[in-house]
Amino acid sequence: MIMNRTLTIARKNRYTHPGHETRTNELAKLLVNAFGYDQAIEKAKQSHWDNVAQAIHFMLSKSYNRF
């Protein structure tokens, strides 16, 4: 099931909102809180949100580095 496309994240270009990166991170945190790391990455990839999937993967690597 592809996630709802109302939370679309477009590629960054010269018209991109300055808060683009923060919105990407907020969406990544939202998905992780809802589904956990593995399912969140899968859901982001299914919805073609590559930037969000990369942000989740980065968050996962940071959480492993703590321990």
What tens-digit pLDDT sequence spans the chain (67 residues)? Answer: 445 444 454 455 666 666 667 788 889 999 999 999 999 999 999 988 888 999 999 988 887 665 4
Burial class (CB in 10 A: 0-12, 13-18, 19+), 9: middle
- What's the pTM? 0.63
In the chain, where are the structural domains located? 21-65
DSSP states of 4-62 as a string? PGGG--PPP-TT--TTHHHHHHHHHHHHHHHH-HHHHHHHHHHTT-HHHHHHHHHHHHH
